[in-house]
Structure 1
């Protein structure tokens, strides 16, 4: 679990699960084939991979059998993009608001996910230079 506690990982599971639910609802609002629908679909895939990797890390088992290197690379890019967009949005919000707190929780969960994705990519033969 690297630098994260079991409690951090369990909280990340809760947050990622919430993000998945919100993304599924957002995806329904867009027509299939539109850029917005595709973005939500890609985010949903990345969040599901993140959820799986965190769950597997907590259970100390292996999730790599389920995902291809390409799936993991796409998930890494989507999570990285979510972090960037969340950080920009958070800067515009007053500290202490529910939106700021929600984004803080989301960012913490996403930051837990990145090293797990990096580790998974390395374990299936992709070096960090191939991630980006």
Structure 2
């Protein structure tokens, strides 16, 4: 994806890894089967897919083999939700704070991952 540099993609991977870690810690606080638990589960899976797609771009190999077209489709909504929530939260924070900076990094990563996900979906991946 020529719009993003190798450095952009490496930084996105770091931000996504951090989001996954925080999501997994948050998920532990909820009982399996609750809506909060399921929301975190879906977000975490979407972030793992995003990470895989970015790694694919960096390595120039096909990393989508381990995800079905259905997995990719299901990842769209959580990624879009994370973008929306992060944008709203960032507006409430003072620029220069660590929270604002963290959300800025997260948004860059999600904006990078979103078109990769869309592109992966446009490929004929089968069932």
Question: TM bucket by the smaller chain?
Answer: over 0.9
> Mind listing any 5+ residue stretches in structure 1 that lack a counterpart?
127-132
Query: Which residue in the other structure is 2:103 paired with?
Result: 103
Q: After superposition, give the CA deviation of every residue in 1:8-61 in whole Å (9 maximum; x if it has no partner).
A: 000001111111111000000001111100000000100000111101110000
**SS of residue matched to 1:95:** coil
- SS of alignment partner, residue 31 of structure 2: coil
TM-score under structure 2 normalisation? 0.95
Distance in 2, matches of 1:3 and 1:67, equals: 24
For the aligned residues, what is the CA RMSD? 1.2
2:23 paired residue number: 23
Provide, for residues 78-128 of structure 1, a one-character-per-residue CA deviation record: whole Å limited to 9, x for no partner. 1011000100111111111111000000000000001100110001269xx
Q: How many residue pairs were aligned?
A: 126
TM-score of the pair, normalised by structure 1: 0.92
Kindly indicate whether residue 39 of structure 2 is the aligned counterpart of residue 55 of structure 1.
Answer: no
* Moved segments of 4+, more than 2 Å: none
What is the CA–CA distance in structure 2 between the aligned matches of 1:7 and 1:104, rounded to whole Å?
A: 16
Contact 1:64 1:124 in 2 (8 A): no
Contact 1:9 / 1:54 at 8 angstroms: preserved in 2? yes
Query: Structure 2 CA distance, aligned partners of 1:124 and 1:79?
Result: 21
Q: Quick check: 1:69 aligned with 2:69? A: yes
* Match of residue 129 from structure 1: none
1:39 aligns with 2:39: yes
1:3 alignment partner in structure 2: 3
Unpaired stretches in structure 2, ≥5 consecutive residues: none
